[in-house]
Amino acid sequence: MQHFDPRLRLHFRLRPQHPWLLLRKMLLPVLLLFIISITTTFAQSDLNYLFLSGQVTNSENGAPLANKKVFIQSDIAIGGGMSYTEVMYTDDNGFFYDTISTTALKGSLHIYAFDIYDVKYEATEYFRFNWEDKYYCNMELAVFEHASSDFQANFYPSRDTTDMNQMSYYFNDESIGSGISYWHWDFGDGNTSSDRHPLHTYKQPGVFDVTLTVTSDLLSAEMVTSKIVKKLKVGMKDYYHFGGHAFAGYFPVDIGTAFLYQIIEDEYIPIDTTEFDEYGYYIFPQLIGGEYKVKTFPSPSSTHAGAYLPTYFGNELLWTKAQSIKLEETGWEYDIVMVENTEYSSGGGNIEGRVFVDGKTSTIENAEVILFNETDNCLTYIKSDKDGAFIFTGLAFGTYKVLADVPGKYTYPTIITLSANNPTIGGIDIIIYDEDIAHGIGDDMVTRLTGLGDPYPNPARSDINIEFELLQSGQVQVFVFNQSGQIVDKYSSHHHAGENKVKINTSKLSSGLYKMMILFGNEKHVKSFVKVN
C-alpha cells in the first residue's frame, strides 16, 4: 500500500518562482527568548494527555478486523523528545485504545499493522498541545485481508458544509451486498434514523460511537444483517497540517530551519520551529485554523550559507512584506524561494552597534540585523552576539542602511555613510520596544516628538486623527498597517515646531484592527485603532 509523502512531490525546480493580546510587555520576553534560543520542543511541567483510538479494517470490504496486532511507536525526531512504544490487539469491533501522558508539546506516532502477506500498512498521527492539554486522536488503518463476506455494512461521515454548525454531519452509506433495503443508524447520542444517507446534528461535543446496521430483503434467500461501529469526533478543534520546500535557486536547500508564527490580532506568537528534511522540505503539523507566517533560514553549515538569506513565505526578507498563510485546510505547497545575496565590493569600512531591549536595560542575542545598500538591495545579515553586539566589516565606502527584523515589530532603518575620512561608524543602537524598533547612533536618539495622544475617533469610520507636539520642525511620516503588516495608507509632510494634528482618510479601509506608525527622524511611535463600517 502506497502512502503519499508531500516531500517527494518535487526534488528540484526548473526555474525559481518570483512571482493575546493583553500584557504585551510580558509577551516580548517570550518572543525574544524564541529568537535567542529556539528549540524543537517547548518543555512544560504539567502533563498533557493524548487519548488515542483507532480502528483496523479490511481494505477489501471495510469490515472491522478483530484480534489484529497493532504497533505504536513515537517519532523522536518530530515528537519533541517523547519516546513511546506499545503493542496491542484490536477488540471485536476492530478498535484499539491507548492513553499517553507526556510533557512534550508536540509529537507524532507511527501506527502500523501487517497483512496476511506480512506487508506493512502504516499511518502517522500528529498531536500538539499549544492550545489545550488534551487531544483526542481518532484514526482508521485499512489492511488487506481476504474478505470473509460480500455483505458488509460500511459508511463514512462528512461534515455538513452548507451549515456553519460544526455539529452537523452527513452519514454516507457505503455498504456492499445485494438486496439491502433497511438501514438503522444509532448516532451514539440516543438518536436514530432509518434513512440511507441521514443528516444528524449533535447537541454537544464529544466522541460518539456511531453504529450502522444494514439488512437485506431478498425473497429467494434468508434475511442477512451486517453491523459496523465507527467513532466520530464532534465539535472539537479542527487541526490542519502544512509544509513546503525551501529553494536556493533551482534546488532545495540542503540544511536549514523554518520558524512559525501565529498572528492573533496584532501580535506575532512564536509557535514552533522545525528542521528541513533531506529534500529541503519543512512540515508544521496539527495547527488550528488561523493566520500564520513562516520564515526559513539556511543553516550555517549549509552549502548555501552566505549566498542566500533568511526568507519569509512570499519570498520576502521582511515580515511586513511577507505573505500570510491563512490556514483553513491542510496544504503541502507553501514553497519559499530564498532571496539571494547581492554581490558587493569589499573595502575598509566597518559598521558597529548593539541591539537592546526597551530602555536599554539589557541586550539581545541572536537578533537578526540586516544590511542594505542605498538602493535597498540586501547585502548580508548578521546575528547579534551574547552581548547584543553586531559588526559588519570589510565594506566599501558608500551609503548603507541597517535595520533589525523581528516579526510583529515595525522597523525603521538607520542610514550610514562610510568614507575615507570616516571609515568606521559605531555606537549604533537598535532598541526593541514593546510596540516597535527604534534606530539611532549613540546619544542622538533624543525624543523630539512629545504629547502624542491616542487616535480619535476610535473606532474610526471616515477618518482618524492623531495629535502631537514637535520640539523642532521637520518631516513627519505616518504609515497605516493592517494586521498582516502591509501598508494600506501613508502620509508625509513638513510640520513646524509646536502642536500639530494629522488626519488620515479611513473611508476605504475594510473593518478591522490597524496600526498607525508615526515617524520623526529616528523616532518611531505606534498606535492602534479599529475601523468599522
Residue 138, φ and ψ in degrees, nearest 5? -130, 115
User: Cα angle at 294 between 375 and 301, to 5 degrees?
Assistant: 80
Residue 361, φ and ψ in degrees, nearest 5? -85, -25
Counting every residue written for the chain, the total comes to 533
What pLDDT score does 185 carry? 98
Task: Give Cβ neighbours of residue 411 (< 8 Å, ≥ 6 apart).
Answer: 318, 320, 403, 404, 405, 436, 437, 439
Handedness of CA 436, 364, 354, 352 (dihedral sign): negative
Map 496-533 to HEC letters: CCEEEEEEEECCCCCCEEEEEEEEECCEEEEEEEEECC
CA distances from 212 to 59, 180, 201, 238, 322 (A): 18, 12, 17, 25, 49
| Other Cβ atoms within 10 Å of 42 Cβ, number | 17
What is the residue type of 455?
P
Peptide bond into 198 cis (omega under 30): no
What pLDDT score does 26 carry? 40
267-278 pLDDT tens trace: 889 999 999 998
Closest CA to 323 of 304, 295, 282: 295
386-441 pLDDT tens trace: 999 999 999 999 999 998 888 888 777 888 999 999 999 998 888 887 666 766 66
d(CA 46, CA 359): 34
What pLDDT score does 522 carry? 66
- Exposed e or buried b per residue across 345-370, where buried means at least 16 C-beta atoms within 10 angstroms of its C-beta: eeeebebebbbbbeeeeebbbbbbbb
d(CA 71, CA 56): 12
d(CA 47, CA 311): 35
What is the residue type of 70?
V
| Other Cβ atoms within 10 Å of 235 Cβ, number | 13
Q: Got the DSSP string for 218-273?
A: -TTS---EEEEEEEEEESPPPEEEEEEEEEETTEE-SSEEEEEEEEETTEEEEEEE
Place of cell 454548525: 165
Rounded to two decimals, what is the model's pTM? 0.73
Closest CA to 247 of 9, 7, 13: 13
Residue 333 DSSP SS3: coil
What pLDDT score does 241 carry? 94
Alpha helices (H) along 421-500: none
d(CA 246, CA 267): 25
Task: Give Cβ neighbours of residue 499 (< 8 Å, ≥ 6 apart).
Answer: 451, 467, 468, 469
d(CA 52, CA 423): 64
Q: Which pLDDT tens digits describe the chain residue by residue (533 residues)?
A: 434 444 444 433 333 443 333 334 444 444 444 444 444 444 445 789 999 999 999 999 999 999 999 999 998 766 566 889 999 999 999 999 999 999 888 889 999 999 999 999 999 999 999 899 999 999 999 999 988 888 999 999 999 888 778 899 999 999 999 889 999 999 999 999 999 999 999 999 999 999 999 999 765 567 889 999 999 999 988 899 999 999 999 999 999 999 999 998 778 899 999 999 989 999 999 999 999 999 999 998 999 888 899 999 999 999 988 999 999 999 999 999 999 988 888 999 999 999 988 766 788 888 899 999 988 889 999 999 999 999 999 999 999 999 888 888 877 788 899 999 999 999 888 888 766 676 666 655 557 888 888 999 999 999 999 999 999 898 898 988 887 667 789 898 999 999 999 999 999 999 888 888 888 876 778 888 999 98
Task: Give Cβ neighbours of residue 379 (< 8 Å, ≥ 6 apart).
Answer: 341, 342, 344, 371, 372, 373, 400
What pLDDT score does 190 carry? 96
